Structure 1
Amino acid sequence: MNASADPLVSIVIPVYNGSNYLAEAIESALSQTYSNIEILVINDGSTDDGKTERVAQSYGSRIRYFSKENGGVASALNMGIEKMAGSFFSWLSHDDLFVSEKIVRQMDALAHAASSESICYSNYYVFTDDPADTVPISLKGVPPEHFRYWLTVENVLHGCTLLIPKAAFTTCGTFNTSLRTTQDYDLWFRMAKKFAFVHVPEMLVKARSHAHQDSHKLAGTALKECDALLSGFVAQLGIDELKAGSGQPGAVSYARVAASMRSRGFVEAGLVATKLCIKHLSGESPYTKVLALFVLTRGALMQYITKPIKGLIPPSVRSTIRQWLAGGTKKGPPGAETVRGMGLKEKFSEVYDKNIFRGSKSRSGEGSDLVQTAVIRREMPRLLRELGIKTLLDAPCGDWYWMRHMDLPVDRYIGADIVEALVAKNREEFGSEKIGFECIDLAEGELPKADLIFSRDCLVHLSFADALKIIANFKRSGATYLLTTTFTARTSNEDLGTGFWRPLNKQLSPFNFPAPMLLINEECTEGLNMFTDKCLGLWKLQDINLQ
């Protein structure tokens, strides 16, 4: 392309305390093969003793640098829009990277778009440490007229893949500064009413995934904000737009949206879709009415099992429905009844010997396969490095199926489990100078010294009494940190009773943990997406007070 004839593209990089990654982002912007670009770095009031500013200023006249009081990413992006000289806007997060062909490919796509009022987006990669070691995220792409429906029911669009004409901001407005985590989706939805979103089926961005991102630090805030935003989206989707996007009759379309929202924990959005479904039932055929009501009922059951309302459904009935929705039986996994009443050692030895969890890859169950642990394997190495962890205690370690596939940036790893045969097998297959395994009763045994205790999918299988004994033993061990499973959307905890498993929110009674230092959402898809609130929470053990 001829730079003198090509429109100027403004790449805007908002940053807050980002000296660790900012240079990489700027370099990826400078490496664009589309030469008519400008790069604006907006320092959103960093408080790192000038480190971020020094990185930006080191690029001299190759970038345009602006500094402002801290106001959040939306305010920083809005300043970039105000200051940009280009005809097109491209957002680059300070911790992400552009592929060198990003701008040229998208400018070419816009040049060939059916409408001059178009915005393009692309596929992208996700990585943790090494930009060469990536996971591709391929979007299916939808017709522009279906885009708002797609944006409502799927959460996969990455804002840094977009290329936006500046005119779109004049027509549709800028980022809403009152939103902390959904300011991008809010704007894209508004823009999609006026502009056609065109998919470029190429990987043009490398998105870094790490533990300090707002999506992890603001997990609770994000859920509430997303629920409110999606409620508005559902209300604004016209019936014709909804039917076209879903390919279903109006009432069924709303019912499916309601079920989708409820299963992901978006209660208010699910309620809005439910009311609209009922409103549009009149005039539908008898078959469509029955189908819509069936989808609504199933979705409602998912909501009450995912985020139970106290007193609405008795615990025993709730447990039965949860197992039914997950494809199991009310008694739990086949064979579970044979271990009820056993001590911990006998119970979990039997689980291991008979593969009671029915895992096809791991005897620890489907939650320990490579799909359900993908996020953990990306995020946990980063967290261990940032915390400076030298010794890691994995309690319990299970059969070490997925952990063997994860980078362990520690000097010493110790896997602890109560099942002797499992520990012996792990020692034989995986033991080394760095990696060891020990047979320990987590409730009563003496735990080896470690900087961090990692305890995933353990306490959910135990009674309150046993779970509290283990936490007390963790505290006695002298470890600094605990990284453990918590279900953040639960409003109450149930004791185990005669069951075999249930979700637990560690911030509720009887645990009463304080707010976590950090949350890593596992993006769990088990049980028909009923456990999307499953997270790993990080706490300092000294901050946990057992009453």
Structure 2
Amino acid sequence: MNPKIKRNKKPWPTKDAMTQIYEQHLWGTNHKPFYSGEGSHNPTLVKPYLHVVQAFLKSFKAPISVCDLGCGDFNIGKELVKYSQKYIGVDIVESLIDYNTKHFKASNLAFLCLDIAKDDLPKADVVIVRQVLQHLSNTEITAILKKLTQYKYILLTEHLPNGTFAPNKDIISGQGIRNKKQSGLNILKPPFNFQIVAKKELLSMDLDGKKGVLNTTLYQVF
């Protein structure tokens, strides 16, 4: 083959890519079957996040329902269940959902295995999307955002570059994120132009200089 000829890289199905990440521990390991990475386990990152999200959930007179898209190994979600009227954890990896169902029990807790870009999503008052969209292509994000209009509130967490950056450069869905392209997700900018009535940044954490920042933003959709 002529070395000058470049092959077009064919995207791998997102379900297969995410399953491989967990099976091969590409986000690290804590010697358990499933590990969602440092962002879900480092106390420096987890504790401030739980503080602001728990405060939001407790701000309502009566508990509200929560849909957690990309719930992962549930190290974070398990700390939020008691503040919700109903909590639904969703992930694309079937073996992960089977594990969570067996190991996390509460009367108001349920798990579903769904491809959030293709399948219908559960109804809830607020949807949590924590470091999920950053791994997905613009095509999949567009499909997901159309479904997020059913939720009154969106709690979105994204790993973004430091300083100014060109938003929403496209990537192939998988382990990587846009930071390698000096880009990050902004759902309010093209090509998404997501419509909201209000937004509030709840938390911004510096990830040691060049690693970027971890931003959690609350969007009110209607």
- Report the TM-score when normalising by structure 2: 0.79
Matched, 1:467 2:141: yes
Q: Which residue of 2 aligns with 1:348?
A: 18
Q: Which residue of 1 aligns with 2:170?
A: 495
1:411 is paired with a residue of what secondary structure?
A: strand
Matched, 1:432 2:114: no
Equivalent pair of 2:81/2:87 in contact (CA under 8 Å)? no
Matched, 1:372 2:45: yes
**443 and 407 in structure 1: CA distance in 2 versus 1, 3 angstrom threshold:** closer
Q: Which amino acid aligns with 1:511?
A: F
2:39 is paired with a residue of what secondary structure?
A: helix
1:433 is paired with a residue of what secondary structure?
A: coil
Q: Which residue of 1 aligns with 2:181?
A: none
Q: Which residue of 2 aligns with 1:506?
A: 187
Equivalent pair of 1:340/1:347 in contact (CA under 8 Å)? no
5 Å matches for 1:130-169?
A: none
Equivalent pair of 1:507/1:514 in contact (CA under 8 Å)? yes
Equivalent pair of 2:136/2:172 in contact (CA under 8 Å)? no
Q: Which amino acid aligns with 1:402?
A: I
Corresponding residue pairs, total: 200
Which structure dedicates a bigger proportion of its chain to helix? 1
1:231-286 deviation digits (Å, cap 9, x = unpaired): xxxxxxxxxxxxxxxxxxxxxxxxxxxxxxxxxxxxxxxxxxxxxxxxxxxxxxxx
Matched, 1:417 2:91: yes
Q: Which residue of 1 aligns with 2:3?
A: none
1:172-222 deviation digits (Å, cap 9, x = unpaired): xxxxxxxxxxxxxxxxxxxxxxxxxxxxxxxxxxxxxxxxxxxxxxxxxxx
Q: Which amino acid aligns with 1:435?
A: L
- Tell me how far apart the structure 1 counterparts of residues 195 and 165 of structure 2 sit (CA, whole Å): 15
5 Å matches for 1:434-453?
A: 434-453=108-127
Q: 1:524 Cα shift?
A: 4.0
Equivalent pair of 2:136/2:173 in contact (CA under 8 Å)? no
**430 and 506 in structure 1: CA distance in 2 versus 1, 3 angstrom threshold:** same
Q: 1:439 Cα shift?
A: 0.6
1:538 is paired with a residue of what secondary structure?
A: strand
**440 and 497 in structure 1: CA distance in 2 versus 1, 3 angstrom threshold:** closer
**379 and 372 in structure 1: CA distance in 2 versus 1, 3 angstrom threshold:** same
Which structure dedicates a bigger proportion of its chain to strand? 2
Q: 1:355 Cα shift?
A: 1.1
**389 and 409 in structure 1: CA distance in 2 versus 1, 3 angstrom threshold:** same
Q: 1:481 Cα shift?
A: 1.2
2:205 is paired with a residue of what secondary structure?
A: coil
Equivalent pair of 1:452/1:480 in contact (CA under 8 Å)? yes
Q: Which residue of 2 aligns with 1:517?
A: 199
Matched, 1:458 2:132: yes
Equivalent pair of 1:360/1:366 in contact (CA under 8 Å)? no
Q: Which residue of 1 aligns with 2:220?
A: 540
Equivalent pair of 1:463/1:496 in contact (CA under 8 Å)? yes
2:153 aligned to which of 478, 481, 491: 481
Q: Which residue of 2 aligns with 1:166?
A: none
Q: Which amino acid aligns with 1:378?
A: H
Q: 1:529 Cα shift?
A: 5.5
1:397 is paired with a residue of what secondary structure?
A: coil
**403 and 483 in structure 1: CA distance in 2 versus 1, 3 angstrom threshold:** same
- Tell me how far apart the structure 2 counterparts of residues 430 and 363 of structure 1 sit (CA, whole Å): 15
Q: Which amino acid aligns with 2:103?
A: E
- Tell me how far apart the structure 2 counterparts of residues 464 and 405 of structure 1 sit (CA, whole Å): 31
Structure 1 vs Structure 2 CA RMSD: 2.6
Q: 1:495 Cα shift?
A: 0.9
Equivalent pair of 1:399/1:426 in contact (CA under 8 Å)? yes
Equivalent pair of 1:444/1:473 in contact (CA under 8 Å)? no
Unaligned runs of 5+ in 1: 1-338, 543-547
Q: 1:514 Cα shift?
A: 5.7
**529 and 377 in structure 1: CA distance in 2 versus 1, 3 angstrom threshold:** farther
Q: Which amino acid aligns with 2:46?
A: T
2:64 aligned to which of 390, 398, 408: 390
The share of aligned pairs that are identical, in percent, is: 25
1:140-182 deviation digits (Å, cap 9, x = unpaired): xxxxxxxxxxxxxxxxxxxxxxxxxxxxxxxxxxxxxxxxxxx
Q: Which residue of 2 aligns with 1:530?
A: 211
- Tell me how far apart the structure 2 counterparts of residues 343 and 392 of structure 1 sit (CA, whole Å): 27
Q: 1:504 Cα shift?
A: 1.6
1:453-474 deviation digits (Å, cap 9, x = unpaired): 0001111001100111111122
Q: 1:501 Cα shift?
A: 0.9
Q: Which amino acid aligns with 1:456?
A: R
1:310-360 deviation digits (Å, cap 9, x = unpaired): xxxxxxxxxxxxxxxxxxxxxxxxxxxxx9721111111111111112254
- Tell me how far apart the structure 2 counterparts of residues 415 and 424 of structure 1 sit (CA, whole Å): 11
1:394 is paired with a residue of what secondary structure?
A: strand
- Report the TM-score when normalising by structure 1: 0.34
Higher RCO, Cα 8 Å, sep 6+: 2
**405 and 540 in structure 1: CA distance in 2 versus 1, 3 angstrom threshold:** closer
5 Å matches for 1:188-207?
A: none
Unaligned runs of 5+ in 2: 1-8, 179-183
